[in-house]
Amino acid sequence: MSQWMTLLQKEMLEMWRNFKWIWVPITFILLGVKEPITSYYMPQILDAVGGLPEGAVINIPTPTAAEVLISGLSQYTTLGVLIIVLTTMGIIAAERKSGVAAMILVKPVSFHSFVTAKWAGSMILMWLSFFIGYLSTWYYTGLLFEWIPFSEFFQSFFFYALWLTVILTVTVFFSASLMAPGMSGFISLAVAIIISLVSSTLSNWLEWSPAQLTTYANEILMDKEIPDSTLPASLLAAVCIILLLYFSVFIFRKKELAA
């Protein structure tokens, strides 16, 4: 256990050194803040941009606070996912390429703790950044529109973060099983997109799909209650995370021993 903690600390230190602890939260804040502000100032923006014929009247209904939060959240499923994948795709593949992994693994460090410490480090970064970013979305929505109860904010945060964790774990898995960071990033993005596309088109049959967690988080904000299928979906997400981690350790060990 203490060995695992040391590895985690090393991981944290490394993320400090390459400024991930600064730029990932800031990017998430900027992503999250964009939505409430642009929807609040939309009439002014249209005025300033101009180009409308004289006398044209555009009535944009003011969105409700829940709608603003939902569209703010949807930023994280597109650009947020992209940033998560880009920052984690190299964590194992790049270290193996540069030989750092081999240097650590000659010491009596188990493959298991090597991979899970890396995963845990990037998961902490992701959860904290997403929390700060979403908190700023919530704060600005409250400031400019209406305050959403904190419990609903927190529930929707949790289920969204669970889905983002699944994507993160998929990225770690491909990073461990493929040699090239770019390749693993590309495949993880493709997997994330395919899963969410399939589960949103077949949403009636795939109620338990982890990608549906984002839809359920939106429903929590809209209807103020947790949908029934949230429990199986989150359980499946947890199972996916554990299985993917197990297989990434397994494949990584096999590849590293063969090399």
Partner 1 sequence: MEELAKYAPILAPILIIQLILFIVAIIDLVRIEKTNGPKWLWALIILFINIIGPILYFVVGRRSN
Binding region for partner 1 (CB under 8 A): 18-20, 22-23, 26-27, 29-30, 33, 37, 83, 86-87, 90, 94, 97-98, 100, 140, 143-144
Smaller CB separation from partner 1, 185 or 210: 185
Smaller CB separation from partner 1, 72 or 210: 72
Smaller CB separation from partner 1, 97 or 254: 97
| Residue among 13, 25, 131 nearest 83 (CA) | 25
Show the tokens assigned to 248.
Answer: 């990434």
Least distance (Å) between residue 33 CB and partner 1:
6
Least distance (Å) between residue 70 CB and partner 1:
21
Q: Which residue has the tokens 């890396």?
A: 118
Smaller CB separation from partner 1, 93 or 237: 93
DSSP readout, 167-199? HHHHHHHHHHHSS-HHHHHHHHHHHHHHHHHHH
Least distance (Å) between residue 240 CB and partner 1:
26
Put residue 55 in one of left, alpha, beta given phi > 0 → left and psi -120 to 50 → alpha. Answer: left
Residue 131 CA to residue 161 CA, distance in Å, equals 8
Least distance (Å) between residue 194 CB and partner 1:
23
Q: For the stretch 121-157, what's the b/e string if a residue is b when 16 or more beta carbons lie within 10 angstroms of its beta carbon?
A: bbbebbbebbbebbbbbbebbbeebeebeeebbebbb
Least distance (Å) between residue 143 CB and partner 1:
7
Smaller CB separation from partner 1, 21 or 158: 21
